[in-house]
Amino acid sequence: MNFSLSEEQKMLKDSVDRFLEKNYSFDLRQSMIEERQTMSGEVWEGLAGLGLLGVSFPEEYGGFGGGGIETMLIMESMGNHLVIEPYVSTVILAGGLVNKGAADWQKQIILPGIIDGSMLISFAHMEPGSRFNLERVQTVAKPDGNNWVLEGQKSIVLHGPVAEKLIVSARTSGEVEDQDGVTLFIVECDEENLGGHEYPLYDGTRALDVQLNGVRVGPESVIGQLGKAMPLISEVVDHAMAAFCAEAVGVMERTQQMTLEYLKTRKQFGVPISRFQVLQHRAVDMFITLEQARSMAVLASGSLASTDLSEKKKAILAAKDFIGRAGRAVGQEAIQLHGGMGMTQELAIGHYFKRLEAIDLMFGNSQHQRREFAKLSNQEGPVEYVQPRKKWKQI
């Protein structure tokens, strides 16, 4: 199989790298986090100007018709620079739901706004108590004539504080964890009876908890068929997981580079500590883990175009599992090799590690992905070793 990039893909990667290198510094990121900003309007406008917000959308709506590999290249660069912009939430999740499930007239309204950067949308799906179970939807939508009334709560809506629209999943029929019965609705964020609580996540990005207290929407707000949204949600979440895998590779790559540079400049006993063989071995282990993770990210992104749904799902689950564990290994090694400096807020390395930890939890950590892979393969889950209890003699 040929893993080399085409000329267009190389140009895409170079343009993203150059733009972020020039316009997105670690200091800018930290200042936004300290000022409780969810994103930079200037950076988002720049990404739109380069056409990056439309890479994954069809040309008929103003996009470029790119696939998983193009998205992977963008996300790697964003991970490299620790970008906090709402690319996954607006372009991949919400934009993906519209692109793959909405009516043509809805696409004509929404997709051009996403592509030119003027419209920010977030996907409100996860709920308190649902953890990583996508099918657990308690929010309900009750018919009221031709309209719908939404009641319920949504949690951890990524980049929700800056969204002007939400795509909300709600149950129109069935029980809490049924596959059928879930419908998607477009909700304006200025709707009456819609409340929210904004807060920072572990890695500095911001999210929103949403309360729907009888929010009324019209029939034109429905995306796709009534009660048939779960396959669409699952497909789009697969795309988001592949994107997070690519971002994690970018984060690990910069983490490995910064660690190697530190080893070359930090001196002990009059020589750079990179001269010590044991540290050389640990640096090599980091590089090998990074390259293995890169291969898994390519596998996940490349599989998105596959027509074999089972194999595609297994590739993404395997990649998310491996990259979650690889990110932790690389991040912990980087912190260790930086010594006490790695624990400070001023040094970037700790923030990169936090992002790796946050990515691991997105749509399920490594342990969850292994369980899902086992279910899909009709095998038993991973066997955990249990220390046998000691049998004490009676005295």
Q: What is the DSSP string of 147-161?
A: EEEEEEEEEEEETGG
Domain boundary among 63, 98, 119: 119
Average pLDDT over residues 375-393: 54
Do 246 and 260 lie in one domain? The reply is yes
Average pLDDT over residues 228-234: 96
Q: Roughly how many angstroms between the first and final C-alpha of the chain, as a whole number?
A: 68
Does residue 200 form part of some domain? yes
Looking at residue 390, its pLDDT comes to 44
Percentage above 70 pLDDT, the chain = 95
Do 167 and 273 lie in one domain? The reply is no
Domain boundary among 167, 200, 227: 227
Looking at residue 2, its pLDDT comes to 57
Total number of domains in the chain: 3
Buried b (16+ CB within 10 A) or exposed e, 130-150: bebebeebbbbbeeeeeebbb
Are 254 and 290 a contacting pair, CB within 8 Å? no
Average pLDDT over residues 91-96: 97
Does residue 395 form part of some domain? no
Question: Is residue 253 scored above 70 in pLDDT?
Answer: yes
* 85 vs 89: CA distance, rounded Å: 9
Tokens 């040309």 appear where?
59
Do 261 and 330 lie in one domain? The reply is yes
* 280 vs 276: CA distance, rounded Å: 6
Picking from 125-134, 306-315, 379-388, which range would have the lowest pLDDT averaged per residue?
379-388
Domain limits for position 42: 7-119
Do 364 and 236 lie in one domain? The reply is yes
Does residue 2 form part of some domain? no
What are residue 121's DSSP bridge partners? Answer: 165
Cβ-based burial of 262 (10 A; exposed 0-12, middle 13-18, buried ≥19): buried
Question: Is residue 391 scored above 60 in pLDDT?
Answer: no
Please provide residue 124's backbone torsions phi and psi, each rounded to the nearest 5 degrees: -105, 100
Does residue 151 form part of some domain? yes
pLDDT 10s digits, 60-77? 999 999 999 999 999 999
Kind and range of the H or E element at 360? Answer: helix 348-361
Does residue 383 form part of some domain? no
Q: pLDDT confidence of 345, banded at 50, 70, 90?
A: confident
Q: pLDDT confidence of 5, banded at 50, 70, 90?
A: confident
Looking at residue 3, its pLDDT comes to 66
* CA dist list (Å): 389 to 350, 377, 392, 393, 394: 39, 33, 9, 13, 15
* 163 vs 175: CA distance, rounded Å: 30
Looking at residue 153, its pLDDT comes to 96
* 372 vs 115: CA distance, rounded Å: 34
Do 219 and 253 lie in one domain? The reply is no
* CA dist list (Å): 50 to 45, 96, 126, 244: 9, 20, 32, 21
Do 280 and 364 lie in one domain? The reply is yes
Residue 373, CA atoms < 13 Å, CB-side half-sphere: 19
pLDDT 10s digits, 135-185? 999 999 999 999 999 999 999 999 999 999 999 999 999 999 899 999 999
Q: How many CB atoms lie within 10 A of CB 266?
A: 15
Are 77 and 16 a contacting pair, CB within 8 Å? yes
Q: How many CB atoms lie within 10 A of CB 197?
A: 12
Kind and range of the H or E element at 245? Answer: helix 230-265
Question: Is residue 356 scored above 80 in pLDDT?
Answer: yes
Do 339 and 240 lie in one domain? The reply is yes
Q: What is the mean pLDDT of the chain?
A: 92
pLDDT 10s digits, 46-63? 999 999 999 999 999 999
* CATH code of the domain covering residue 49: 1.10.540.10
Looking at residue 320, its pLDDT comes to 97
Question: Is residue 387 scored above 50 in pLDDT?
Answer: no
Q: How many CB atoms lie within 10 A of CB 231?
A: 15
Does residue 149 form part of some domain? yes
Question: Is residue 341 scored above 90 in pLDDT?
Answer: no
Do 106 and 127 lie in one domain? The reply is no
Do 51 and 172 lie in one domain? The reply is no
What is the torsional sign of CA 61, 64, 66, 70? negative
Nearest to 134 by CA among 187, 185, 88, 177: 177
* 44 vs 47: CA distance, rounded Å: 5
Average pLDDT over residues 316-337: 96
Does residue 381 form part of some domain? no
Please provide residue 224's backbone torsions phi and psi, each rounded to the nearest 5 degrees: 75, -160
Q: DSSP 3-state assignment of 90?
A: helix
Question: Is residue 343 scored above 90 in pLDDT?
Answer: no
Picking from 178-192, 250-264, 338-352, which range would have the lowest pLDDT averaged per residue?
338-352
Does residue 388 form part of some domain? no
Looking at residue 393, its pLDDT comes to 45
* 333 vs 311: CA distance, rounded Å: 33
Average pLDDT over residues 344-361: 93
Question: Is residue 395 scored above 90 in pLDDT?
Answer: no
Domain boundary among 210, 227, 244: 227
Tokens standing for residue 97: 């739901």
Picking from 99-108, 170-179, 232-241, 289-298, which range would have the lowest pLDDT averaged per residue?
170-179
Do 46 and 95 lie in one domain? The reply is yes
* CATH code of the domain covering residue 208: 2.40.110.10
DSSP conformation class of 211: E
Do 341 and 254 lie in one domain? The reply is yes
Do 95 and 149 lie in one domain? The reply is no
* CATH code of the domain covering residue 325: 1.20.140.10
Beta strands in the chain (DSSP E): 121-124, 140-144, 147-158, 165-171, 182-188, 194-200, 206-217, 222-223, 267-268, 271-272
